[in-house]
C-alpha cells in the first residue's frame, strides 16, 4: 500500500468501503434467514451472528494493527468505533417514516437494556485502561476477561428478558417490528427463502470473506493515508476508519428500518457495540501484553463520548419525542451536535 500514489490509494480505500457496504447487506439478509431456518432466537442467534458478522472489519483491523505494533490505531478503532456506530442510528432515523422519530417507533424497553449493556462494558474498558500493564493474567488484562464475561452474562439477561418479560408497556403509535428474529413477519423480504440452506451459508460465507478482505485494505490503506495527511492514528481510527468499518451496520440498520424492524435496528447497533470491545481480549493475546493500559486519554475521551451518545438515545426511547425536524428526532439532532463537539474536543487534546 505504501508504494501507491495518494489518488490511487484513496480510490482503493473507497472501493474497499463499497465492497464492505455490499457485503454488509448480504450478511444482514442471510443472517436473518439463517436465524429463521435454525430457530436460534434473538439473543442467542441474531444478535451473536449479526454482531460478529458486522464486527468483522473491526476484527481484522484489531488483528493487523496489533500485530504491527500500532496499538493506538487498534484501540482507537475499537473504542472510537462505539461513538461512530451509535451515529448509525442517525442514518436509521433519517430512513424511518420522516413523520415520527426512530425512538418513538421503537415501542419497546428491550433496547434500553441493550444500551445499558454498552454503558456497562465501556465502563469496564475505561477502568481497565487505568490498570497498570503489570497487573495481568498472563498476557491478558483482567479487564479484557471481565468484558467478555460481562457480555456473555448480558446475552443471557437479554434472552431472559425477551422470553420472560416482567412488565407490559403500552406505547401507542409504535412500530417495533417483529418481537423476535425467530418470528417472520409478512413484511420481511423473502429473497433467500427459495434457496437451500447450503446456498444461504455460502452467501453468508462470501459476505464474511469480502468483509475480511475489505477490513485488511481499509486498515493498511487508511494507516498510510493518515500518515501522509499527518493525522493522529487515534483520531483517524475513531473517525474516518471507524466510519468505513461501520458500513455493515449502516446497511443492515437502514434495511431493518425500511422493512419496519425499528426495535431490531436499534438492538443490532447496541449489540454490536457491546460485542466490539470484547475484541480487546484478542488484541491482548496477539500483542502478548495488555492493550488497554496503552489506550491513553484520547481513547478515554472517545469512550466517554460513546457512552454519552448511547444515553441520549436511551432517554429518547423512554421519552419518545413525537416530532421530526429535517427527518430527524430531537435526540438524533442532539447526538449530531454532541458528536461534533466531541471530535472538536478530541482534536484539542494533547497527543
- pLDDT tens-digit profile of 136-152? 888 999 999 999 999 98
> Higher confidence at residue 122 or residue 226?
122
Contact yes or no for 79/292 (Cβ under 8 A): no
- Residue-level pLDDT at 318: 92
Comparing CA positions, the residue from 61, 65, 33 lying closest to residue 49 is: 33
The phi, psi pair for 52, rounded to 5°, reads -70, -45
On the question of pLDDT at 15 being above 50, the answer is yes
- Quote the pTM value: 0.83
On the question of pLDDT at 58 being above 80, the answer is no
Contact yes or no for 104/267 (Cβ under 8 A): no
| CATH number for the domain formed by residue range(s) 6-180+196-348 | 1.20.1420.30
pLDDT in tens, 166-199: 777 777 777 666 544 444 444 444 566 677 888 8
Contact yes or no for 248/57 (Cβ under 8 A): yes
Neighbours of 69 (CB within 10 A): 10
pLDDT in tens, 275-334: 889 999 999 999 888 888 888 788 888 899 999 999 999 999 999 998 889 889 999 999
Distances 55 to 37, 109, 166, 246, 338 between C-alpha atoms, Å: 23, 25, 32, 8, 24
pLDDT in tens, 21-48: 788 777 767 766 776 676 655 444 556 6
Contact yes or no for 59/215 (Cβ under 8 A): yes
- Residue-level pLDDT at 272: 82
Q: What angle do CA 3, 68, 274 make, to 5 degrees?
A: 115
- Residue-level pLDDT at 111: 85
- Residue-level pLDDT at 181: 44
3-state SS track over the chain? CCCCCHHHHHHHHHHHHHHHHHHHHHHHHHHHHHHHHHCCCHHHHHHHHHHHHHCHHHHHHHHHHHHCCCHHHHHHHHHHHHHHHHCHHHHHHHHCCCCCCHHHHCCCCHHHHHHHHHHHHHHHHHHHHHCCCCCCECCECHHHHHHHHHHHHHHHHHHHHHHCCCCCCCCCCCCCCCCCCCCCCCCCCCCCCCCCHHHHHHHHHHHHHHHHHHHHHHHHHHHHHHHHHCCCHHHHHHCHHHHHHCHHHHHHHHHHHHCCCHHHHHHHHHHHHHHHCCHHHHHHHHHCCCCHHHCHHHHHHHHHHHHHHHHHHHHHHHHCCCCEECCEEHHHHHHHHHHHHHHHHHHHCCC
- Residue-level pLDDT at 146: 94
Amino acid at each position: 500500500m505504501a508504494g501507491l500514489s495518494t489518488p490511487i490509494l484513496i480510490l482503493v480505500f473507497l472501493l474497499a468501503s463499497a465492497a464492505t457496504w455490499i457485503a454488509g447487506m448480504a450478511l444482514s439478509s442471510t443472517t436473518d434467514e439463517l436465524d429463521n431456518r435454525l430457530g436460534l432466537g434473538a439473543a442467542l442467534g441474531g444478535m451473536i451472528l449479526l454482531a460478529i458478522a458486522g464486527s468483522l472489519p473491526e476484527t481484522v483491523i484489531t488483528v493487523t494493527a496489533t500485530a504491527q505494533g500500532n496499538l493506538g490505531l487498534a484501540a482507537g478503532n475499537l473504542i472510537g468505533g462505539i461513538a461512530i456506530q451509535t451515529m448509525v442510528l442517525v442514518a436509521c432515523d433519517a430512513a424511518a417514516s420522516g413523520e415520527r422519530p426512530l425512538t418513538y417507533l421503537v415501542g419497546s424497553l428491550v433496547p434500553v437494556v441493550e444500551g445499558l449493556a454498552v454503558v456497562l462494558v465501556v465502563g469496564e474498558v475505561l477502568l481497565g485502561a487505568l490498570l497498570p500493564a503489570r497487573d495481568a493474567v498472563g498476557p491478558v488484562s483482567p479487564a479484557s476477561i471481565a468484558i467478555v464475561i460481562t457480555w456473555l452474562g448480558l446475552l443471557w439477561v437479554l434472552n431472559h428478558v425477551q422470553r420472560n418479560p416482567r412488565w407490559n408497556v403500552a406505547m401507542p403509535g409504535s412500530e417495533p417490528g417483529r418481537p423476535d428474529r425467530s418470528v417472520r413477519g409478512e413484511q420481511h423480504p423473502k429473497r433467500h427463502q427459495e434457496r437451500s440452506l447450503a446456498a444461504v451459508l455460502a452467501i453468508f460465507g462470501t459476505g464474511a470473506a469480502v468483509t475480511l478482505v475489505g477490513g485488511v485494505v481499509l486498515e493498511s490503506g487508511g494507516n498510510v493515508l493518515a500518515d501522509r495527511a499527518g493525522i493522529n492514528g487515534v483520531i483517524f481510527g475513531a473517525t474516518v476508519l471507524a466510519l468505513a468499518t461501520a458500513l455493515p451496520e449502516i446497511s443492515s440498520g437502514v434495511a431493518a428500518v425500511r422493512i419496519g424492524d425499528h426495535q431490531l435496528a436499534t438492538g443490532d447497533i447496541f449489540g454490536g457495540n457491546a460485542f466490539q470491545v470484547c475484541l480487546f481480549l484478542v488484541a491482548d493475546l496477539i500483542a502478548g501484553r495488555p492493550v488497554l493500559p496503552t489506550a491513553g486519554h484520547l481513547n478515554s475521551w472517545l469512550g466517554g463520548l460513546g457512552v454519552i451518545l448511547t444515553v441520549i438515545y436511551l432517554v429518547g426511547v423512554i421519552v419518545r419525542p413525537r416530532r421530526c425536524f429535517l427527518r430527524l428526532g430531537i435526540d438524533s439532532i442532539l447526538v449530531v451536535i454532541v458528536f461534533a463537539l466531541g471530535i472538536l474536543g478530541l482534536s484539542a487534546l494533547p497527543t
